[in-house]
Amino acid sequence: MGGDQGSRSDLEKPAFSLEDLSPEQAQKKESASAPAPVASSPEPQAERADVTAERPAYQSHRAAPPEADLHKQIDPETRTRLFLQGEINLAELYALSHEELYDIAAQGQRFLDAQRHDDAEKLFEGLTALDPYNADFHAGLGAIKQLKKDKEAAMLEYDRSIQLNEGHVAARTNRAELFIEMGEYARALEDLSVVATVDPDGSDAHAGRARGLTKAVMRLLEDRLEEEQG
């Protein structure tokens, strides 16, 4: 691959910030609707193994537990029965509110900012266990896995996040970076095109990064074409 070394600045690291971990932002993301990915792309790619069928059916309408006070009015025995029947998640079993879960996530982000990746990972793994239907928590765990160079685990978490919210800008952007590193430029462009459609004005910080990644992909494709042409 030749040419523009400056493109690496577009691929530095998965971004995830405290803004991504606020209930208000989560509500905005949950209301976003992503379009179908682009039907074609300039770069044919080998198929990536499809593991979607091996996963539980994540339900997008279970994005966050209700307020804790509501569940505190239900006796523990009833909550336990509802949990065993699959009617409520673990966070609801323990009567944790949406805000309390995001407070935990914010602490995980502070660990991440302090380079305490193992501690951040443990917190986000706990959050995805407490509320497996929250796209933000899977995207956050994916970012940590990516920073720890566990690309397979990161991809799995981004896939889960996007299953829950097709227009999740952070998950789409970070997954696109993984696809770029894998040389799967067509898949990267599919994710980046979704980001551009979901947030055409660039109001989300990740949208600007997605534009940079798109430019990097186009440069990489140009380099590859030049190499193929001799």
DSSP 219-230: HHHHHHHHHHT-
**pLDDT tier, 157 (very low <50, low <70, confident <90, very high otherwise):** very high
Q: pTM for this one?
A: 0.70
What total number of domains does the chain contain? 1
What b/e readout covers 130-159, taking b as 16+ CB neighbours within 10 angstroms? bbbbbbbbbbbbbbbbbbeeeeebbbbbbb
Is residue 171 in some structural domain? yes
Select from 223, 62, 191 the least CA-distant residue to 134.
Answer: 62
Residues spanned by the domain of 212:
166-230
Mean pLDDT over residues 106-122, rounded? 93
Q: Per-residue b/e over 204-215, b at no fewer than 16 CB within 10 Å?
A: bbbbebbbbbbe
83 and 92 Cβ atoms separated by less than 8 Å: yes
In a domain, 202, yes or no: yes
Q: What mean pLDDT is reported for the chain?
A: 75
Q: What is the pLDDT of residue 229?
A: 81
Nearest to 173 by CA among 148, 152, 202, 149: 202
The reply to whether 211 falls in a domain is yes
Q: Evaluate whether residue 25 is within a structural domain.
A: no
The Cα-based distances of 163 to 108, 140, 153, 168 in angstroms read: 23, 15, 15, 9
Closest CA relative to residue 157, chosen from 37, 210, 147: 147
Once rounded to an integer, what is the mean pLDDT over residues 1-26? 44
> How does DSSP classify residue 183?
T
**CA–CA distance, 74 with 163 (Å, rounded to integer):** 31
- Do the domain assignments include residue 210? yes
Lowest mean pLDDT across 72-81, 130-139, 168-177: 72-81
End-to-end CA distance of the chain: 12
Residue 228 lies in a domain: yes
State whether residue 32 is helix, strand or coil: coil
Q: Given this model, what pLDDT does residue 97 score?
A: 86
Residues 161-176 as b/e (b if ≥16 CB within 10 A, e otherwise) read: bbbbbbbbbbbbbbbb
Q: Judge residue 85's burial from the number of C-beta atoms within 10 Å of its C-beta, 0-12 exposed, 13-18 middle, 19 or more buried.
A: exposed
Tell whether 70 is covered by a domain: no
Which of 11, 16, 230 lies closest to 137 in space, CA to CA? 16
The yes-or-no verdict on residue 16 having pLDDT over 70 is no
Mean pLDDT of 193-213: 89
What pLDDT was estimated at residue 38? 32
Least confident of 3-17, 31-45, 125-139, 156-170: 31-45
pLDDT at 119 over 60: yes
Asked whether the predicted pLDDT for residue 202 surpasses 90, the reply is: no
Q: Could you tell me if residue 128 is inside a domain?
A: no
- Assess whether pLDDT exceeds 90 at residue 167: yes
How confident is the model at residue 98, as a pLDDT? 87
